[in-house]
Amino acid sequence: MRKIVIVIGLLFSVGLGINSSAEDKTHRVDEGSHHKMHFVEDSRISLGLSPAMKQHQLANMRAHVEAVQSIIGLLSEGGFDKASDIAYSKLGLTEEMKKMCNSFENETFKNLGLAFHKSGDALGETLKTKDMTKSLRALQTTMTYCVQCHATFRQ
């Protein structure tokens, strides 16, 4: 009888031991995913846009990436004049883009947007020279704004 009690007691404590180490593990896993959550957290500045503004902005952005694609394609064929037109009309500081940029409350974002579109006009100007190296450099300058803004801001 005594032996049985000891065996049961032993099993019980082993059982507890397993349980607590399992809890430890769960805890550790939880902590791990917590750290991961911190890691993937989007720490960029939010613009706090309305749903309608979000869609409008994304549509604009898709037009920007399409313009860059067209410009690169035209450059590969020596189509500098057409590429220049696209730079002015799709990336440049048109009245529409000026209005759009000025509608943002965040001053840094607004200024970055305006500087970006000015660089689009400068790209249009450079493309007219039909100088490939200068044109690629100007396109790179414009794309630096894409990269910089995306690294800093989110919707």
Q: Residues interacting with ligand HEC, by CB under 6 A?
A: 58, 61-62, 64-65, 68, 109, 112-113, 116, 142-143, 145-146, 149-150, 153-155
Q: By the 8 A CB rule, do 127 and 89 touch?
A: no
Distance CA(71)–CA(64), nearest Å, equals 11
Q: Of 1 and 147, which CB lies nearer to ligand HEC in the complex structure?
A: 147
Distance CA(66)–CA(86), nearest Å, equals 10
Distance CA(119)–CA(109), nearest Å, equals 15
Q: Of 7 and 65, which CB lies nearer to ligand HEC in the complex structure?
A: 65
Q: Of 20 and 69, which CB lies nearer to ligand HEC in the complex structure?
A: 69
What is the smallest separation between the CB atom of 57 and ligand HEC, expressed in angstroms?
A: 6
* Tokens 């300058």, located at residue: 141
